[in-house]
Amino acid sequence: MICMLPVLRCFFWTTVVAHCPRQSSAFSSLSHKSRNGSKNIPTIIITITTTTTMMDFDLATALRDNVAAVLLLPLALAIGWLAVAFNKPPAKDAPVKSTAGILESVRMLASSESPWWHLQLQESLGSSIFQHNIPVPGGMYVLCSAKDQREVLLDEYADKPIAVYGNIDSITGRTQMGTRSTLDPRTKPMRKAVEHSFSSAEVNRMNSICMKYAKQWETDFLEKLADTDATFDPSIELPKVVFKSIMEAALEYESTPEDYDFFASNYEVAAREFTFRQSVNPLRKVFGFMIPEVWAARNCCSALQDFVKKILTAYRENPNKSEHNTLIKAVESNPYDMSEEDRVAELLILLIAGFDTTGYTIAITLVLLAKHPKEMRDLRQSLLQGDPAQSKDHLKRVITESQRLLPVAGVGPLRLINRDFIFRDESSNRNVKIPNGATLILPQFASHRDEAVFEDATQFKPDRWENPTK
């Protein structure tokens, strides 16, 4: 009889991770308290039917009665091979390994606690370089040092791991400049096509539109709220303002509150599945047809793409198009060969990359100012009474410090390296080797708190950017 143990383990891994408690969006809340609630682990019932015996073995019957096992056997063997390879005795110059197991690592990497978790691992392991217990080709490593991260990011042979970033293509419908390799021949032409939309004149034009909607929000929302004892969550309100601003300034589309609710709700479901869960658990992609959450996420992706198609149609039918170099104009009139699906994907990734990251950055800045009254008073005085140029510099320092202390993309970028790297781990006072083909996580929460670069790294000090030395 065919051995079922590897297959059952495969079933168990897929089912447990697929039904982990839902995690909130990585940046939908400014609260990062650890959540240690009970785990909703479902009861797994597996029935194995066989009509064979050891004395009377019929291979055809065995294969028929164990179809699932036969289908999953190659995958189980591959996982077993990876497990054996992953548990080889470490070399002397190998990084330390995380104490978290595979399931815990997958769960934490796909959760909103991931940035803080890397900080905790760095402290508990006593090392700024460590390896995750996730069986991916080449291994998955974490670099916490700002110096080490800089070396990788500047390396011309380090590139985006398509196996991870490619999951975003499920949201946009196909590859776009956010997920393409830097070596892809389509990358430079697309960037060149949209660069005029970010000239100084265009940025000033877009700023004026943003200011218009910020003042409108102040009048319609804040002033009314000020007369009551009510409170509000800036991480909910500010993305709405940014979304409306981007839609008009970049896409020449006048959006409604219903448009925002539709886009944000569908994007949250799609991003949770494809940006987080499938990035760390590829089995969800393989067995997605069995998982209701994956089906729901796919429907949300289709809804987002249809939303962008509606924006494109409205632009084409608009008799009074802007004469400025808007983003939608740049994508629509791109001289390079682009299909309709390409245009949808490029516009969708630009919208995704802009509305919530900008909104959350402003929200985080407001919260930090509220928690540091002196910094808030100094900024207010500078904006109201100071020289415009100095006021602008002061505001820039505050926002930069906010992005340093609580970056929106706290997990940081990932890179697939194409050569061996030797780093000096100052914590353990030894050289550490990361092999060619490894996937590196570069957590910004860690590098932005690197005491070798930032004095009092956990403190909110905008003045550190007045004369930065590093």
All domains of the chain, ordered by start, with CATH?
Answer: 104-157+372-469 (no CATH), 184-362 (1.10.630.10)
For the sheet containing 140-143, what is the strand order?
96-97, 129-132, 140-143, 439-441, 414-416
Q: Which of 159, 220, 122 is nearest to 427 (CA)?
A: 122
Residue 175 tokens, joined: 């590859």
Q: Going residue by residue through the chain (470 aa), what tens digit of pLDDT does each one get?
A: 334 343 334 433 333 333 444 333 333 333 333 434 444 433 333 333 333 333 344 545 554 455 555 556 666 666 665 555 555 556 778 899 999 988 898 888 888 888 899 999 999 999 999 999 988 888 999 999 999 999 999 998 899 888 788 888 999 998 888 888 877 888 888 888 888 899 999 999 999 999 999 999 999 998 888 888 888 899 999 999 999 999 999 999 999 999 999 999 999 999 989 888 887 777 888 888 888 999 999 999 999 999 999 999 999 999 999 999 999 999 998 767 788 999 999 999 999 988 888 999 999 999 999 999 999 999 999 988 877 778 889 999 999 999 999 999 888 899 999 999 999 988 778 899 999 999 999 999 999 999 999 999 999 999 999 888 75
CA distance 182 to 160: 8
Q: How many C-beta neighbours within 10 Å does residue 154 have?
A: 8
Q: Angle at the Cα of 51 (from 48 to 57), degrees rounded to 5?
A: 115
**What is the enclosing helix (H) or strand (E) of 425?**
strand 421-425
Residue 335 exposed, middle or buried by CB count within 10 Å (0-12, 13-18, 19+): exposed
